[in-house]
Amino acid sequence: MFCYTFKGLYKRENQTMMKTFIVFCFKDKSESEYGIGYKQIIIKNMEIKIRQEQENDYKVVYELIELAFRNMEESDHREHFLVERLRKSEAFIPELSLVAEKDGEIIGYILMTKVEIVSDVKAMSSLALAPVAVLPKYQGQGVGGTLICEVHKRAVELGYGSAVLLGHKDYYPKFGYKKAIDLGIEFPFEVSYEYCMAVELLPNALKNVRGMVKYSKPFIN
C-alpha cells in the first residue's frame, strides 16, 4: 500500500471543486478503489472523512483509543491518558490531531506532537507519531494507513521534515519509516532498536542529523 498527493478537480453535487488529493493505492488494485480526497477519502468502498479533532470529540476519542489498545499485548493500556496529557502540553499541535469519520462516527484517531532530536551541538525540531488507533471492527481496511498519510501531509504543510515513533516494526515501513538507529537517531527508552523508527517527510531531512530524541514531558511522566 502506498500513497501520493496531487492537486486536481472533482465533482460533487454538480459542482466542480479544486482540492488536494491523496491517491491511496493498495497492493491488489482489483480489490480496491483509488482513494480520493484531502478530506473525503474512499478506501475499499468506504467513504472516510479526515478532519481536525475538536474539543467535543475528546470523550469519543478517549473511548476509541482505550478500545483499540485493549487487547494489544505490548500496550500499557494508558494511551488514552497520554493523549489527554499531550493535549494540555506545549508539544500539542491541534492541526496534527486528526479523526477519521465514517457516516458521522469517529472510527480512527492519530496524533503527532513536537519532539526534538538533540545532539551535543544542536537541537532539531521533529515530531512524534503517537498514537494511531482504529476501532477494532474497522481495522485492516486502510483507515490507519490513510490517517498516517494525511497527518504526514499536514505535518509537511506546517514545515516539519521528519518524524519518529515507537511501534510495530512491520507496519510503519509501509509509510517510509526506517530503523532510527540506521539514521543515527537514538531513543531514550529501553526498547529494542527494531521498534524505534524515523521517517524523512522531506527528502534528506535527517541527512546530517545525529542525536537522541527528546520527548515532551507527557511521554516521560
Ligand X SMILES: CC(C)(COP(=O)(O)OP(=O)(O)OC[C@H]1O[C@@H](n2cnc3c(N)ncnc32)[C@H](O)[C@@H]1OP(=O)(O)O)[C@@H](O)C(=O)NCCC(=O)NCCS
Residues at the site binding ligand X, with contacts judged by CB under 6 A: 1, 68-69, 72, 131-134, 139-145, 167-168, 170-171
Q: What is the DSSP string of 74-112?
A: T--S-HHHHHHHHHTSTTEEEEEEEEEEETTEEEEEEEE
**Helix (DSSP H) and strand (DSSP E) numbers for the chain:** 4, 12
Q: Which three cell numbers stand for residue 85?
A: 496529557
Smallest distance from ligand X to CB 108, Å: 7
Spatial CB neighbours of 9, under 8 Å, sequence gap ≥ 6: 16, 17, 18, 19
Q: Which is nearer to ligand X, 109 or 124 (CB)?
A: 109
Smallest distance from ligand X to CB 65, Å: 8
- Judge if the upstream peptide bond of residue 131 is cis by omega within 30 degrees of 0: yes
Q: Which is nearer to ligand X, 124 or 127 (CB)?
A: 127
Smallest distance from ligand X to CB 129, Å: 9
Q: Which is nearer to ligand X, 86 or 124 (CB)?
A: 86
Position 159: which residue type? G
Contact 23, 5 (CB under 8 A): yes
Residues facing residue 148 across a β-bridge: none
Smallest distance from ligand X to CB 111, Å: 11
Residue number of the CB atom closest to ligand X: 144
Q: Which is nearer to ligand X, 78 or 122 (CB)?
A: 78
Smallest distance from ligand X to CB 147, Å: 8
Q: Which is nearer to ligand X, 75 or 204 (CB)?
A: 75
Identify the helix (H) or strand (E) that includes residue 23.
strand 15-25
